[in-house]
């Protein structure tokens, strides 16, 4: 049967040719772009996942650049700190030289003071001028700002890191669990007569700084014993005082400092047996707490001993058990890293009301990951290294900073000579050196364990994500060229078939002949 109004074979050939041409165009497009997915219709699910991967790749690329920038900032900061450290070591050497007063003149000490003054001015100048791209590094601009610090409870607060994401301020609460203690030994001066030594006595008194032997004659007042021990306090690190300020109550020997690294040892050399009435045994409380002697000396609660060590303060900071060292407590977590020097009255009173203050801002925040979350950020506080902030040695309730050793300061060479003691000045300089070295170590740890490991991790993630993205999105040229060849053959044959289908309709003319 022949019909000319509807050429079905031609329609079939046209449809197949159209599909073959579309296939040919698809293969040519993939080969020309190198991509298997050029539009959503190519692979809807594949497009979604590859777009997410591309977003991740862009974030990782920027994160790696961020890490490199952060590393450069830390390296620049540390170079400034290294110079400050060199100046501090030279100051310490000058102070040690000046302490040798028997071998140097007043003019030499004055010259040393001039060098110290110049070095301190240089330290402050470095603090003010160390910059990175206009960003001040060592003048305190990158330190955290605090509010509400009660100096009667917390003598010094240093925040190393704090997470302030989605909060205006971070409250820090300090709760003393167990009091800081000095080592303590107690001597009852006897009852007949009270307040004096009943016999001659030779004592070996030792502390964390040294040991001395003192001899006292029979009948000497306990006040004289206290005065004799305290004259050597700076040498041995042990202090003595009358119990309740009453010569008839006895003596307490205490380490000058708080903490487990301090101790006091008092031993009688020779003489009567300790059980003899002429000698009352030194004793300390078996709970390691100081006894209440206001109502008389509670000998029943004490045990025999000749040595006692101090105890570090124990405290909670925002519910986390802090590490205690003497009067210092510290905690280090991702959300908060803080070092606190507690006031003596607060650190020795577990019943005191909790102390609170707020971290209101500041610090240096480094974005180290592709996502803006607290887990992929690093915060660090870099305090000022000006002379007025370095050191911070607590003595008699007063903090002494590096600036105090300049001319006219409380710990200058002249003031130390007049006092006959360079110990406090030396402690201030050593504390300043520790401040710098600890900060350098902390920044070095961040660079080594935080930045360098992070960039290696990012590089590995970038490689793996790039490979995954390529598998899904990129063209397989071997496959595409083979399919291109097939599409070309089918398109050519489809054109030929369409031509034949159109020629079939012309055969009807033969019937009219």
**Separation between Cα atoms, residue 301 and residue 290, nearest integer Å:** 10
334 versus 231: which is more confidently predicted? Answer: 231
Same domain, 135 and 29: no
**pLDDT tens across 49-106, in order?**
888 988 889 999 999 999 999 999 999 999 999 999 999 999 999 999 999 888 888 8
Maximum Cα–Cα distance for the chain, whole Å?
160
CA proximity to 236, closest of 260, 214, 218, 256: 256
When pLDDT is cut at 50, 70 and 90, the band that residue 283 belongs to is: low
- Domain with 432, as residue range(s), is 47-141+384-391+401-474
Specify if 179 maps to a domain. Answer: no
Lowest mean pLDDT among 44-48, 106-110, 187-191: 187-191
Task: Give the percent of the chain with pLDDT over 70.
Answer: 91
155 versus 26: which is more confidently predicted? Answer: 155
**pLDDT tens across 215-229, in order?**
988 888 889 999 999
Same domain, 189 and 263: yes
Residue 184, class by beta-carbon neighbours within 10 Å (0-12 exposed, 13-18 middle, 19+ buried)? buried
- Backbone conformation region of residue 420, classed left if phi is above 0, alpha if psi is from -120 to 50, else beta: left
Same domain, 128 and 229: no
Mean pLDDT of the chain: 85
Tell me phi and psi for residue 317, to 5 degrees.
-120, 110
Same domain, 445 and 470: yes
Same domain, 137 and 191: no
Rounded to the nearest 10 degrees, the angle between the axes of helix 106-129 and helix 44-99 is 170
Same domain, 189 and 298: yes
CB 148 within 8 A of CB 356: yes
* C-alpha distances out from residue 120 to 87, 98, 407, Å: 8, 16, 11
Chain mean position to CA 316: 18
Same domain, 432 and 488: no
When pLDDT is cut at 50, 70 and 90, the band that residue 285 belongs to is: very low
Same domain, 460 and 486: no
CA proximity to 421, closest of 235, 283, 205: 235
Task: Give the percent of the chain with pLDDT over 90.
Answer: 41
Q: Give the predicted TM-score (pTM) of the model.
A: 0.77
**In 169-255, which residue ranges form alpha helices assigned H by DSSP?**
222-230, 233-236
Q: Is the pLDDT of residue 1 over 80?
A: no
Specify if 378 maps to a domain. Answer: no
Specify if 280 maps to a domain. Answer: yes
Specify if 345 maps to a domain. Answer: no
pLDDT for residue 278: 40
Specify if 347 maps to a domain. Answer: no
- Could you give the number of structural domains in the chain? 3
When pLDDT is cut at 50, 70 and 90, the band that residue 302 belongs to is: low
Same domain, 201 and 258: yes
Residue 224, class by beta-carbon neighbours within 10 Å (0-12 exposed, 13-18 middle, 19+ buried)? middle
Same domain, 282 and 210: yes
Specify if 379 maps to a domain. Answer: no
CB 180 within 8 A of CB 258: yes
Specify if 421 maps to a domain. Answer: yes
Give the count of beta carbons closer than 10 Å to the beta carbon of residue 107. Answer: 8
Specify if 177 maps to a domain. Answer: no
DSSP E strand stretches across 245-327 = 251-255, 263-268, 283-285, 302-304, 307-309, 314-317, 320-321, 323-325
CA proximity to 205, closest of 274, 259, 245, 253: 253
**pLDDT tens across 370-425, in order?**
888 878 888 899 989 999 999 888 887 788 999 999 999 999 999 888 888 888 89
**pLDDT tens across 481-501, in order?**
888 888 888 888 888 887 887
**Separation between Cα atoms, residue 44 and residue 461, nearest integer Å:** 25
When pLDDT is cut at 50, 70 and 90, the band that residue 275 belongs to is: very low
pLDDT for residue 492: 84
């Amino acid at each position: 049967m022949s019909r000319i109004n509807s050429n079905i074979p031609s329609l079939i050939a046209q449809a197949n040719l159209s599909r073959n041409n579309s296939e040919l165009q698809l293969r040519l497009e993939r080969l020309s772009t190198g991509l298997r997915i050029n539009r959503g219709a190519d692979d809807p699910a594949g497009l979604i996942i590859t777009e997410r991967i591309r977003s991740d790749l862009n974030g990782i690329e920027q994160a790696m650049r961020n890490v490199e920038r952060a590393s450069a900032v830390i390296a620049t900061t540390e170079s400034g700190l290294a110079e400050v450290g060199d100046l501090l070591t030279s100051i310490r050497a000058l102070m040690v030289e000046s302490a040798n007063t028997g071998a140097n003149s007043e003019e030499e000490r004055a010259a040393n003071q001039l060098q110290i003054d110049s070095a301190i001015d240089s330290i402050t100048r470095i603090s003010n001028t160390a910059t990175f791209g206009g960003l001040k590094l060592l003048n305190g601009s990158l330190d955290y700002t605090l509010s509400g610090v009660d100096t009667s409870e917390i003598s010094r607060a240093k925040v190393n890191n704090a997470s302030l994401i989605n909060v205006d301020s971070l409250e820090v609460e300090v709760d003393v669990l167990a009091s800081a203690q000095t080592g303590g030994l107690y001597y009852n001066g006897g009852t007949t007569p009270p307040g004096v030594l009943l016999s001659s006595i030779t004592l070996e008194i030792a502390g964390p700084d040294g040991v001395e032997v003192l001899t006292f004659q029979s009948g000497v007042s306990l006040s004289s014993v206290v005065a004799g021990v305290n004259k050597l306090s700076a040498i041995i690190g042990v202090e003595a005082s009358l119990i309740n300020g009453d010569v008839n109550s006895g003596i307490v020997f205490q380490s000058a400092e708080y903490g487990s690294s301090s101790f006091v040892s008092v031993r009688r050399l020779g003489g009567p047996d300790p059980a003899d009435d002429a000698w009352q045994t030194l004793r300390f409380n078996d709970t390691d707490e100081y006894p209440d002697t206001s109502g008389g000396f509670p000998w029943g609660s004490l045990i025999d001993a000749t040595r006692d060590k101090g105890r570090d303060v124990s405290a909670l900071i925002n519910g986390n058990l802090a590490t205690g060292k003497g009067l210092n407590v510290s905690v280090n977590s991702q959300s908060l890293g803080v070092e606190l020097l507690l006031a003596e009255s607060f650190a020795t009173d577990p019943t005191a009301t909790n102390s609170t203050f707020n971290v209101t801002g500041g610090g240096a925040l480094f974005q180290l990951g592709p996502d803006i979350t607290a887990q992929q950020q690093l915060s660090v506080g870099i305090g000022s290294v000006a002379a007025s902030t370095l050191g911070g040695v607590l003595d008699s309730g007063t903090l002494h900073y590096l600036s105090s050793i300049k001319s006219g300061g409380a710990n200058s060479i002249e003031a130390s000579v007049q006092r006959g003691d360079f110990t406090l000045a030396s402690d201030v300089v050593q504390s300043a050196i520790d401040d710098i070295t600890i900060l350098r170590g902390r920044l070095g740890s961040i660079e080594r364990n935080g930045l360098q490991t992070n960039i290696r991790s990012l590089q590995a993630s970038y490689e793996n994500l790039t490979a995954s993205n390529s598998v899904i999105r990129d063209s397989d040229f071997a496959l595409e060229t083979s399919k291109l060849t097939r599409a070309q053959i089918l398109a050519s044959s489809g054109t030929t078939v369409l031509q034949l289908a159109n020629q079939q309709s012309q055969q009807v003319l033969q019937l009219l002949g």
